Amino acid sequence: MRILLLTHSFNSLTQRLFTELRAQKHTVSVEFDISDAVTEEAVALFRPDLVLAPFLKRAIPASVWSRHLCLVVHPGVEGDRGPSALDWALQQGLSRWGVTVLQAQAEMDAGPVWASENFDLPSARKSSVYRREVTEAAVRCVALAVQRVQSGDFTPRTVPGQAHVPMAQNHRRIDWQADPTAVVLAKLRAADGVPGVADTLFGQPCHLFDAWPEAELRGTPGDVLVRRETAILRATCDAAVWIGHVKRPGGFKLPTTLAFPEASALPESTLTPWLKAGSPTWQDIAYTESDGVGFLDFEFYNGAMSTAQCQRLQQAVVWAATQPTGVIVLRGGADFWSNGIHLNTIEAAASPSDESWANIVAMDDLTEAILRCETHYTVAALRGGAGAGGCFLARAADLVWVRDGTVLNPHYKNMGNLYGSELWTYLLPKRVGTAGAHAIMRNRLPMTAADAVRTGLYDRCLPSAGFDAEVMLRAQALAKSCQLASLLSDKAAMRRTDEAAKPLASYRHEELREMQRNFYGFDASYHVARHHFVRRSPQSWTPRHLALHRELDWKIPA
């Protein structure tokens, strides 16, 4: 089928559906929902069998839905209608929620249902539920709906329903004197990553994001108690919550201690370095050990890794390599493994060029620390997605295992034609050959986990269900294996041979020379792209590599 994805942006769900539908051999093109006229033009050019809307902020024009079959992915159960569907479900603490694929018609979300699926709703951030539970259910619902469209003998049902009001900031407001921690967390999670909860900190307005429970520290409700790295702790009436990120008026999302210099006056609450705390708290880097394996979790918000985070993670990796284990598993965060250098902290810096440089140097130091580790076998286990430099950082490990369903974006070009570093010029050709490396870097499209393994970029795609347990079993088996010693000596020997052929320092120097041009040169494309990315500027056109129907050689199907 020819399927047109009509979407507000190429967000995580759209990327996943794009890769899945293409893997099922459909011809898929994308048009961003910019205006009715542009949508009408896209439909006229592409003549789709089906228009699929995974993520829209406004209605599909009647001129399109009245002439073409248009299916909308609604992140709600059958009968649920209107915006803020997931926000309401999370804030109300519902235990089950769902996804419905319905046909577009005049009344929003009221059209006949082509497929639906319900799931257990975890107490997690909205952005996380969207990327995991909603996306998995949506992929299955869309596959079923497409199959039903193709079969031609399915009659969708119209179900009764009720529209809820859009969730406004007055519904989200936190009463720090009266709301118990569970309610505070539910409100903050229902608002993450957009729009956040409007509040004040240090007497100034801001929106709050990235909340974590605290089990031990207490204080006067509403007071800001302590800071830890980039987060601050605020007391509730029965405990306290950590706030990791905030957005100040007119600004963009930043780590709280960076957005509010006032936070530096707060007392510091530290943890035993790297070891995972025994009770719930905010901890961005946490080490645990099990049967000869050291696990490093790095829960960096949105997978963005600032200069300081790269430096601290490098210290943690070096420290983990001194422990009496045989294998180190780099587990990243639950939603993202890594999305490369931290574009928001760079944007906020006095000199974004200098901060970009510092960040990429710290990233390269971390890459080298993983790559040069000779005491342990290293595994990057990708539970969540990875983008740009994050994809190549993972490749510095000896093995990369990736969860089925994970979306990867192993390219830099979308960020203003960045050349990229993280030693990709050394790491990639070794796995996929020179032509393969160039193909990956040229391709601006997302890649499935299965494709990453098929092309040789990564080593193994493991089932989504039970991924963590499977990683643990495999890593423990590796640590116990009688082959571990020879694996370690082989990798040391390979490193020496490669170093003799061309030192890592040369690869790094060549990459950084290009990056220097990106950061300081006459072409400011990277700075412009970053400016729009961190401010989430609306799209003004669909990039050519997504819109097949706008290719110069596109032929209108007969």
> Cβ closer to ligand COA: 33 or 179?
33
Query: By the 8 A CB rule, do 428 and 411 touch?
Result: no
Select from 392, 402, 329, 346 the least CA-distant residue to 366.
Answer: 392
Q: Give the shortest CB-104-to-ligand COA separation in angstroms.
A: 23
Structure tokens at 135: 């996306």
Nearer to ligand COA, 496 or 513 (CB): 513
- Please state whether beta strands 285-290 and 293-298 pair in parallel, antiparallel, or not at all (unpaired): antiparallel
Question: Which residue's CB is nearer to ligand COA, number 209 or number 295?
Answer: 209
302 to each of 53, 359, 479, how far by Cα in Å? Answer: 24, 16, 31
Segment interacting with ligand COA (CB under 6 A) among 58-66, 180-188, 302-310, 504-512: 302-310
Residue 466 backbone class (left: φ over 0; alpha: ψ -120 to 50; beta: rest): left
48/420 with CB nearer ligand COA:
420
Alpha-carbon distance 240 to 221, whole Å? 8
- Beta carbon nearer to ligand COA, 212 or 412: 412
Does the footprint of ligand COA cover residue 125 (CB under 6 A)?
Answer: no
Of 88, 89, 39, 48, which is closest to residue 69 (Cα–Cα)? 48
Please list every residue from 237 through 266 that binds ligand COA, using CB under 6 A.
253
Closer by beta carbon to ligand COA, 199 or else 422: 422
Total binding residues toward ligand COA, as defined by CB under 6 A: 23
Residue 544 is encoded by which pair of tokens? 């050519």
418 binds ligand COA (CB under 6 A): yes
Q: Does 525 bind ligand COA (CB under 6 A)?
A: no
Q: Does 415 bind ligand COA (CB under 6 A)?
A: yes
Which of 39, 302, 406, 425 contacts ligand COA by CB under 6 A? 302
Candidate segments 55-63, 93-101, 412-420, 433-441, binder of ligand COA by CB under 6 A: 412-420
Among 326, 340, 384, 405, binds ligand COA (CB under 6 A): 340
CA distance 137 to 413: 31
Nearest distance from residue 428's CB to ligand COA, in Å? 14
Amino acid identity, position 541: W
307 binds ligand COA, rule: CB under 6 A: no
Q: Supply the minimum distance, in Å, between the C-beta of residue 413 and ligand COA.
A: 9
Q: Give the whole-angstrom CA distance, residue 26 versus residue 424.
A: 32
- Which two three-digit tokens encode residue 429? 């050709």
- How near is the Cβ of 327 to ligand COA at its closest, in Å? 27
Of 11 and 481, which has the nearer Cβ to ligand COA?
11
Minimum separation from the CB atom of position 547 to ligand COA (A): 17
Q: What does the angle CA 149 – CA 13 – CA 23 come to, to the nearest 5 degrees? A: 55
How many angstroms separate the Cα of 327 from the Cα of each of 316, 320, 374, 392, 467? 14, 9, 11, 20, 18
Is 402 among the residues that bind ligand COA (CB under 6 A)?
A: no
Q: Which residues ranging from 170 to 209 are in contact with ligand COA (CB under 6 A)?
A: 193-194
Compute how many other C-beta atoms are within 10 angstroms of the C-beta atom of residue 44. 11
Residue 5 has phi, psi (to 5 degrees) of -90, 110
Nearer residue to ligand COA within complex by CB, 74 or 126:
126
Q: Which H, E and C letters describe 240-298, residue by residue?
A: EEEEEEEECCCCCEEEHHHHCHHHHHCCECCCCCCECCCCCCCCCEEEEEECCEEEEEE
3-state secondary structure of 385: strand
Q: Residue 376 CB, nearest distance to ligand COA (Å)? A: 26
SS3 372: coil
* Nearest distance, CB of residue 391 and ligand COA, angstroms: 9
Nearest distance in Å: CB 224, ligand COA: 23
User: Rounded to the nearest whole angstrom, what is the least distance from the CB of residue 299 to ligand COA in the complex?
Assistant: 13
In eight-state DSSP terms, residue 341 is B
Judge contact between 99 and 115, C-beta under 8 A.
no
Residue 342 binds ligand COA (CB under 6 A)? yes
Q: Which is nearer to ligand COA, 117 or 335 (CB)?
A: 335
Residue with Cβ nearer ligand COA (378 or 409) = 409
| Distance between CA atoms of residues 273 and 276, nearest Å | 9
Binding mask 447-466 for ligand COA (x = CB under 6 A): --------------------
C-alpha dihedral, 485 to 489 to 495 to 501, nearest 10°: -150
Residue 98 sits in the site that holds ligand COA (CB under 6 A):
no
Question: Per CB under 6 A, does 343 bind ligand COA?
Answer: yes
Give the binding range for ligand COA (CB under 6 A) out of 50-58, 118-126, 300-308, 315-323. Answer: 300-308
**Of the residues 304, 358, 447, 547, which one makes contact with ligand COA according to CB under 6 A:** 304
Q: Is residue 82 within 8 Å of 166, Cβ to Cβ? A: yes
Q: Which is nearer to ligand COA, 211 or 418 (CB)?
A: 418
- 356 is a contact residue toward ligand COA (CB under 6 A): no
Closer to ligand COA by Cβ: residue 65 or 337: 337
- Residues in region 379-398 near ligand COA by CB under 6 A: 385, 387-389
- Residue with Cβ nearer ligand COA (77 or 393): 393
The packing angle between helices 484-501 and 467-480, to 10°, is 90
341 interacts with ligand COA by CB under 6 A = yes
Q: How many CA atoms lie within 13 A of 204 on its CB side?
A: 12
Residue burial 460-480, b: 16+ Cβ < 10 Å; e: rest: bbbeeeebeebbbebbbebbe
Distance between CA atoms of residues 205 and 208, nearest Å: 10
The count of C-alpha atoms lying within 13 angstroms of the C-alpha of 233, restricted to the half-sphere facing its C-beta, is 25
Which of 282, 412, 424, 467 is the binder for ligand COA (CB under 6 A)?
412
40-69 positions binding ligand COA, by CB under 6 A: none
Please report, as ranges, the residues that interact with ligand COA according to CB under 6 A.
Answer: 11-12, 193-194, 253, 302-304, 339-344, 385, 387-389, 409, 412, 414-415, 418
